[in-house]
Amino acid sequence: MLIDPFERHVSYLRVSVTDRCDFRCVYCMSEHMTFLPKAELLSLEELDRLCSAFISLGVKKLRVSGGEPLVRRGIMTLFKSLGRHLDSGALEELTLTTNGSQLARYANELVDYGVRRVNVSLDTLDEANFVATTRWGKYDKVMAGIEAAQAAGLRVKINTVALNGVNDGEIEDLVRWCGEKDMDLTFIETMPMGEIDGDRSEQYLPLTQVRARMAETWTLDENDYDSGGPARYVTLRETGQRVGFITPLSHNFCESCNRVRLTCTGTLYMCLGQEDAADLRAPLRASEDDAAVIAAIHEAITRKPKGHDFIIDRSHLGPAVQRHMSVTGG
């Protein structure tokens, strides 16, 4: 088992399989991004080997992310291979975070390989607003992807980044739509990661305001549901649906953090909001034996910090960390 210096059991690995994305969301990246050279990326076989090492050390939940993970060539071979750990019982859950653009193509295969739920990032139900927010996104394609995922039997949760002046007028509409579609919904505060073409202090919408607005329409009952991630949930008494809140700024969730993040280059970040990292690519490629990799993982976990230092206000206009979220993985 992996136990950090604060006695937290690290049982959840998030893996970014690519930093590339077919969207350019305004809060996530600039429109003209420079992505990693493909030569720097781990192969899918190497990613499988690293994930398997973590599973051997007690990781029970694995989430594949990006960038947009489904744009990576051959990505279904990784899901197929990782599915063996579900069959053996070593892994309890294999999940995916996606923008939905490729779901119509891959939904059935994901189910075949053991995926049972997916998170779809969707910040607005207004098509014009969607195009403005994602820059390159195709609204109809995402909606078709969500429908295909549900038809294939996948449980879909919508992740919505709350953005002042962008979707703050759609809170009630998003909640109602998810309720009608039998989908859970999680609101997320924007995070100060990487340079963007805008002012995050203007985008930032505290989820305390979102909750207060919801409470004007629905009765919010506290819920002890645990998805394995950082969201805190309420149940809407009138509809029975579940709504989560991820609040890295207004109310951080670091005390219960059970996660580490692996990038597509083999870099392990022990905290989303800190720069300290461990290189797992070098020990991985130094030997076909996993002893050095496992030793490097154990050493890295001893450096997992107590929490992050995210701040967004007029006196902190720059990013807290220079890397974009697409590098670390959602």
What is the mean predicted confidence (pLDDT) over 65-84? 96
pLDDT in tens, 176-186: 999 999 999 99
Q: Which two tokens stand for residue 129?
A: 């607003």
pLDDT of the residue at 317: 47
% residues pLDDT > 70 (the chain): 88
pLDDT of the residue at 326: 52
Whether 46 shows a pLDDT value over 90: the answer reads yes
Whether 273 shows a pLDDT value over 90: the answer reads no
Pick from 89-98, 122-131, 233-242, 250-259: least confident = 250-259
CB 101 within 8 Å of CB 22: yes
Whether 312 shows a pLDDT value over 70: the answer reads no
Of 70, 218, 236, residue with least CA distance to 145: 70
**Alpha carbon distance 120, 232 (integer Å):** 18
The helices-and-strands tally (H runs, E runs) of the chain is 11, 12
Structural domains of the chain, ranges and CATH numbers in brackets: 12-328 (3.20.20.70)
% residues pLDDT > 90 (the chain): 68
40 CB neighbour count, 10 Å cutoff: 13
pTM of the model: 0.87
Residue 197's pLDDT band (boundaries 50, 70, 90)?
A: low
Mean pLDDT of the chain: 88
**Alpha carbon distance 207, 157 (integer Å):** 18
